[in-house]
């Protein structure tokens, strides 16, 4: 029975899109609990080491979140261009001529907060 769950977990992880697995890799570090560290009888140097490790992990976590956020923004912009190409191709939008890099101007935008603004299809 345990083999079934291991195989099932493997199939689920293989089938999960890369965006979901990328966000799973950004694990928030657990903050050291000073009271527990004191109760455990750790020395000042050991407590300092625990907190230094925590701060290094926090920096890695924040970098991971920033990298994931940037990747998702790029993917969303690409999807917005794809939507504009579909509109230009299938709805004969006259104003959707390609830009010099071959992209069709998008009728959806990401504002600086990361909120995606989609304009309705005409």
pLDDT of residue 87: 82
pLDDT of residue 83: 86
Between the alpha carbon of residue 61 and those of residues 54, 81, 94, 114, the distances in Å are 10, 30, 45, 19
**Half-sphere exposure at residue 36, Cβ-oriented, CA atoms within 13 angstroms:** 5
pTM exceeds cut of 0.95? no
Angle at 103 between CA 108 and CA 20, to 5 degrees: 60
pLDDT of residue 12: 42
Q: Would you give the DSSP letter of residue 43?
A: -
Residue 102 reports pLDDT greater than 70: no
More confident residue, 29 or 102: 29
Tens digit of each residue's pLDDT (9 = 90 or more) over 46-100: 999 999 999 999 999 999 999 999 999 999 989 988 888 888 887 664 555 555 5
Domain boundaries, the chain: 28-118
């Amino acid at each position: 029975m345990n083999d079934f769950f291991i195989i099932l977990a493997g199939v689920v992880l293989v089938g999960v899109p890369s965006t979901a697995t990328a966000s799973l890799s950004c694990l928030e570090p657990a903050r050291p609990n000073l009271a527990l560290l004191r109760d455990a009888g750790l020395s000042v140097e050991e407590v300092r080491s625990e907190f230094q490790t925590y701060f290094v992990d926090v920096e890695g976590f924040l970098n991971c979140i920033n990298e994931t956020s940037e990747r998702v923004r790029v993917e969303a912009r690409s999807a917005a261009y794809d939507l504009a190409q579909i509109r230009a191709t299938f709805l004969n939008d006259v104003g959707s001529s390609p830009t010099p890099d071959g992209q069709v101007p998008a009728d959806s935008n990401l504002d600086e907060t990361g909120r995606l603004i989609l304009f309705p299809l005409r």
